[in-house]
Structure 1
């Protein structure tokens, strides 16, 4: 593993994830009617929260690479667990949208948010794993 490649790989993971989620939003909006006024499905929050989540993934990988001789496999395990944990609140809100701190959510809307989590998570794990190899 080439630790010097982590910052570039993390930046690309962020960029690819944000772009992919915004493209997915556009495509999904062609077949699904998003609830009006439900802010988490608007482009700004999608981009910001995708950026934050994927950047944190890159930071975790960088920190692990500083203290571990071979952080790739442990990072992948942690990242997959984090991805699963990140969708649990949306799964719960699919079952009871009234529990959400933001108004206007529907079970379908929270399902779409899960799609965005999976897209960003898979891209981030893949890019960080592949682009940091020697």
Structure 2
């Protein structure tokens, strides 16, 4: 079949160590970017009372998101003949869903605003982009 002969090297599962290494890289890059965003927001006095825009919650939720993305990608490499394309679709859907609370809940939180929600949304976007880029480009596959 053409789908079998046309499979790219991304169709084979990653080893656990390659997946873990890629996940760790995605986490490190995502955390650095998000911590920089928190630093700029805090320095600029944006939503200083908003708990969600502090290092602890940002670190926790970024870590959770990257672990979820890494596990999802690992499963897709084992179940799909086109895991990169499927992962991009799943990541896009999860990203859109993750933005909903940023624009519906955050503006109503103590110290929150629509602008603060947009900053948190920016962190979701950067983490999604990093995860898709790093995980789909894993280990020189």
Normalising TM by the smaller chain, what interval?
A: 0.7 to 0.9
Instruction: Write the deviation string for residues 63-119 of structure 1: whole angstroms up to 9, x where unpaired.
Output: 11122233111111111111111112212246xx23x4xx22122211111111111
How many residue pairs match? The answer is: 128
Query: Is the contact between residue 93 and residue 107 of structure 1 (CA under 8 Å) also seen in structure 2?
Result: no
> Does 2:111 correspond to 1:104?
yes
Residue ranges of structure 2 left out of the alignment (5+ in a row): 1-9
- RMSD of the alignment, in Å? 1.8
> What TM-score do the two structures reach when normalised by structure 1?
0.84
> Does 2:32 correspond to 1:47?
no
Instruction: Write the deviation string for residues 3-55 of structure 1: whole angstroms up to 9, x where unpaired.
Output: 1222211111111111110012213334x322233111111111111010111
Q: Return structure 1 stretches of 4+ with deviation > 6 angstroms.
A: none
> What TM-score do the two structures reach when normalised by structure 2?
0.81
Residue ranges of structure 1 left out of the alignment (5+ in a row): none
> Does 2:64 correspond to 1:64?
no
- Which of 110, 131, 138 lines up with 1:124 in the alignment? 131
Over alpha carbons, which structure has the higher Rg? Answer: 2
- Which of 21, 30, 46 lines up with 1:17 in the alignment? 30
Q: Which has the higher contact order (CA 8 A, sep 6+)?
A: 1
